[in-house]
Amino acid sequence: MSKNDNIVSRVRGPRGVSGPVEKAIDWKGTLKRIWRYIEKQKAPLVASILFVILSTLLGLVGPYLIGVIVDEYIIPKDLAGTIRWLVVLAVVYFLVALFTWLQSFMMVRVSLQTIRDLRQDLFEKFHSLSLRFFDKHSHGDLMSRVTNDIESLNAALNQSVIQIFSTVLMATGVTIAMFSLNWTLAIVSLLIIPLMMFTTKKIIKYSSNYFIKRQRDLGELNGIVEESISGSDVITLFGKEETVFNKFSVTNERLRHSAMSADMVSGFVGPTNNFINNLGLSLIIGVGAVMAVQGMTTVGVIAAFVTYSRQFYRPINQLSSLFNMFQSAIAGAERVFEVMDENPEIVDKKDARNVAAFKGEVTFTNVDFSYEPRKPILKNIHFEAKAGEKIALVGPTGSGKTTIINLLMRFYDATSGEIKIDGYNLTDYKVRDLRKRIGIVLQDTYLFSGTILENIRYGRLEASDEEVVKAAKMASAHQFIKHLPNGYQTQINSGGSNLSQGQRQLLAIARAILADTDLLILDEATSSIDTRTEVEIQEGINELTKGRTSFVIAHRLKTIENADKILVIHHGELIEMGTHKELLERKGFYYQMYERQFGQSTTKEGA
């Protein structure tokens, strides 16, 4: 990950919030994709299947031995033989339990490694997607896909995948065993299977929509929680706690309702199948009793059939009870694959150029850009920045200044027109190389969990401690760092919440100084710093911008008076361009902005 990856969620255009698109679950397609991950774990998967086969075969031996013991030892009252064969039966069932545990243990390995690979691919996918994707999804919903949805799949893999194989194997073995003992009772035992399958299919089909809705509501709830935590200071400042709580309560209640609907409907599977199972046992015992009285079978065979029928129905019941979890897993997996199927907008061309350094010549030629069709944000932007020049971008909020930076960093591609660095289009360069050679300091600085030293070093990971300290001194951050309890080893909370906004900006400036990039972007880099500190670090910023092309977004017009070129952006158009003195002399939009900030001083300066 490049040092500029942390700004992906910070430099952007308009941001919307939407949940996943609701659509019919593609069970077959989703299961195939899950299987591609499972089959990578061949050794533990084969071992698990082997243990399933052994436990199933031994499980088939048990009922047969019960029938033999009843007919040949219990009815003839042979106590010694009964005890001897009961010991054998106990050993058989002990081995069944052992092999069942081993198959579960191996399947846990398969599922955890499968989930690890899937989570890794999903996280990697997030870092390949453009900002447009993140603009359209709430962060909480995306986090829910990485956590809740994948964990639902993990639980299902642990408990249901091998259960399906075990059920099929057991059902096949039991069917063969029953027909070999008594085909009449075997047919009676199988009569209820169509009824069980019919009711299960109907209930699952009816409940699947509720499971989709439950996963969607869960993602929306996570989005509200994430935004309320990250924006807690704003919520408190404006006294909107009750509004946020009410919004959470409504979504929470909607989640409760959809979850209850899903669980209630699918919950009919277990009781319904239990009733059908008991009906089947009653038929076996009833028909078997009639046949035994007529001498057509024995009590031992009936006992074996009762045990076999329980072995036949029980895994089917267990499989049915797992459908709640299985449906959640499929719905969650589809939400995960929905992200995986997103095509990144910003990709390298096959013949993309590697770049070790830029001279810094930047040209925008007739650049248009829209976040959404027919809603232009930038219109015919045209300018040139020579190597080493300081270019300032000014204009009202929402005029398109940050969008120009987004295009230069290639977070988005221009709708039309060309953007070039050193004579080559941005699309000619490898994206990672391009962003590594552009440093940026944002108004809203993000810091990672870790020490102050580690956060500054994020600008250049191979930098020595001495170089980090030197960069901090140039940014005037060293003074406050050395007064912290642990100095450069002071731990920073995620986002830097235990530092002031001004201190966070000083660290961001130090990080940019350490990065030593060829182009530099300063987006209101000193907006949260007091005037005195700003004066102190201006020398560091001047040192930082010396010899490299820099783009400065500024609202304090005094800070960009020495810019080589000032671009005035208004309603997405470049309406004025020139030096500070030239723009004041024209008495256009820039002059009006300057006059609003400094009043009569413009009149004197222009005189």
Q: Is the pLDDT of residue 33 over 60?
A: yes
CA-to-CA separations, 225 to 222, 332, 593, in angstroms, rounded: 5, 19, 40
Is residue 2 predicted with pLDDT exceeding 50?
no
Does residue 60 fall inside a structural domain?
A: yes
Give the C-alpha separation, 553 to 556, whole Å.
9
Q: What is the pLDDT of residue 23?
A: 38
What pLDDT does residue 384 have?
93
Q: What is the pLDDT of residue 12?
A: 39
* pLDDT at residue 536 is higher than 80: no
Using pLDDT thresholds of 50, 70 and 90, give the confidence band for residue 18.
very low
pLDDT of 149 higher than 90: no
Residue 419: band (very low, low, confident or very high) from pLDDT cuts 50, 70, 90? very high
Give Cβ neighbours of residue 356 (< 8 Å, ≥ 6 apart): 433
- Please state, for a pLDDT cut of 90, what percent of the chain lies above it: 16
What pLDDT sits at residue 489?
92
Whether the per-residue pLDDT at 203 is higher than 80: the answer is no
Q: Looking at the DSSP assignment, which residues form a beta bridge with residue 425?
A: 420
In a domain, 539, yes or no: no
State residue 460's pLDDT score: 86
Q: How confident is the model at residue 535 (pLDDT cuts 50, 70, 90)?
A: low
Average pLDDT over residues 136-144: 77
Q: How confident is the model at residue 7 (pLDDT cuts 50, 70, 90)?
A: very low
In a domain, 146, yes or no: yes
Between CA 12 and CA 132 the distance in angstroms is: 8
Instruction: Give the highest mean pLDDT range of 184-198, 457-471, 526-540, 545-559.
Output: 457-471
Residue 9 confidence (pLDDT): 36
**CA distance linking residue 134 with residue 8, whole number of Å:** 9
How many Å apart are CA 299 and CA 290, to the nearest integer?
A: 11
Among candidates 369, 493, 492, 341, which has minimal Cα distance to 426?
369
Q: What is the pLDDT of residue 537?
A: 63
Q: Is the pLDDT of residue 96 over 50?
A: yes
Mean pLDDT, residues 229-237: 73
Q: Which of 445, 410, 400 is nearest to 573 (CA)?
A: 400
> Is residue 336 a part of any domain in this protein?
yes
pLDDT value of residue 316: 67
- In the predicted model, what is the mean pLDDT of the chain? 81
> DSSP states of 109-124 as a string?
HHHHHHHHHHHHHHHH
Mean pLDDT over 268-275 rounds to 76
Q: Quote the DSSP letter at residue 524.
A: S
Sequence-ordered alpha helix ranges (H) in 70-157? 79-126, 131-135, 139-144, 150-156
Considering only residues 163 and 437, tell me which one the structure prediction assigns the higher pLDDT.
437
CATH number assigned to the domain comprising residue 309? 1.20.1560.10
pLDDT on residue 367: 94
Look at residue 362 and tell me if it is in a domain.
no
Return the pLDDT at 36: 87
Distances (CA, A) of 141 to 45, 147, 155, 452, 483: 32, 10, 20, 31, 40
Q: What gap in Å lies between CA 522 and CA 540, rounded to an integer?
A: 13
Tens of pLDDT, residues 329-345: 888 888 888 888 888 88
pLDDT at res. 602:
46
pLDDT band (50, 70, 90) for residue 258: confident
List the single range of 4-18, 61-75, 348-362, 484-498 with lowest mean pLDDT.
Answer: 4-18
Please state, in angstroms and rounded to a whole number, the distance separating the CA atoms of residues 588 and 576: 8
Q: How many domains does the chain have?
A: 1
Handedness of CA 227, 232, 237, 240 (dihedral sign): positive
* 391 in a structural domain: no
- Of residues 297 and 89, which shows the higher confidence score? 89
Give the distance, in angstroms, between the CA of residue 56 and the centroid of all CA atoms in the same chain: 39
Of 292-296, 453-457, 519-523, minimum mean pLDDT range: 292-296
Q: Is the pLDDT of residue 362 over 90?
A: yes
Give the list of residues 6+ apart from residue 588 with CB closer than 8 angstroms, or none: 568, 575, 576
Q: Which residue has the higher pLDDT, 509 or 526?
A: 509
Q: What value does the mean pLDDT take over residues 49-62?
A: 87
| Residue 335 covered by a domain | yes
Q: Which pLDDT tens digit goes with each residue over 551-601?
A: 998 877 877 888 899 999 999 999 999 999 999 999 999 999 888 877 654
Q: Return d(Cα 300, Cα 305) in angstroms, integer.
A: 9
Please, where are the H alpha helices in 322-461?
A: 323-340, 401-408, 431-436, 452-457
Which of 126-130, 266-270, 504-508, 565-569 has the lowest average pLDDT?
266-270
Residue 390 belongs to some domain of the structure: no
Per the structure, the complete domain to which residue 272 belongs is given by: 26-340
